[in-house]
Structure 1
């Protein structure tokens, strides 16, 4: 990962297609994420594909403030990668995603984020990146652990 992001990986005892069903269904994120407590497809989008739109309802740091954020799917390869941009078409701030790799009889799942390399975001990251990066990594680990519980129970 670049200096403007981070990632967390976890092994799940489930095949990539089962994990894919969870990570690509944005309507389920509220079950897993400590910050995004709901999401819904928008603009006529109904599922994961490049160009699909959704919005996430976020509670920053799990305590507030609360806001809706627009998102657009930017990479979508079933059973391999699901990535989306956060922000408007004119102003992307952050990118989030999941990479899936077969790992023995299960799947190595990596959740990651990457800020856009814009000057003001570089300045933000220089000042607050270490703190926000730790918060994001803790949130990603929590998200993946909660997903693992569900996907392993259902496998």
Structure 2
């Protein structure tokens, strides 16, 4: 039996800040450009103005920090203040992947986990089988960078 690579990953960083302070960063998509090495700006769209299930936003991405830029349409799928903020990336007709943040109070601060998972489809399985190892390393590095930059801000 062939073992297919996992269609997702996660990175966790402990921050010396309460969940409420971390929540303000992870759920404010307009600030992602301060933290992410690939998504350099984002804006609420379709009349959405803040984090809630069903809210839409678009992220302006420069893959691997090089090459052409593009806008990725996103929709908030889980919004539990101070616990989980998750969004899908794709069109109304098709979700390509999901990204999110889990917040867990721990040792007087917050353990913050950023994660992604590809939606299982023939396209994503072929893509991930061919490029998953490379893209996975890039995603892990990007998630760690994002979380470390957030940590620096919430611990100021």
Q: Same fold (TM over 0.5)?
A: yes
Give SS of 1:111's match: strand
Distance 1:63 1:117 in 2: 27
Structure 2: which 5+ runs fail to align? Answer: none
Return 87-96 or 26-35, whichever deviates more.
87-96
Provide the aligned C-alpha RMSD in A: 0.8
Distance 1:65 1:103 in 2: 40
In the alignment of these two chains, the number of paired residues is 152
Structure 1: which 5+ runs fail to align? Answer: none
Cross-structure match for 1:24: 27
Cross-structure match for 2:91: 88
Q: Please tell me whether residue 53 in structure 1 is matched to residue 95 in structure 2.
A: no
Give SS of 1:34's match: coil
Q: Could you state the TM-score of these two structures normalised by the residue count of structure 2?
A: 0.96
Give SS of 1:132's match: helix
Runs of 4+ that moved beyond 2 A: none
Cross-structure match for 1:106: 109
Distance 2:128 2:39 in 1: 21
Pick one of 97, 104, 108 that aligns with 2:100: 97
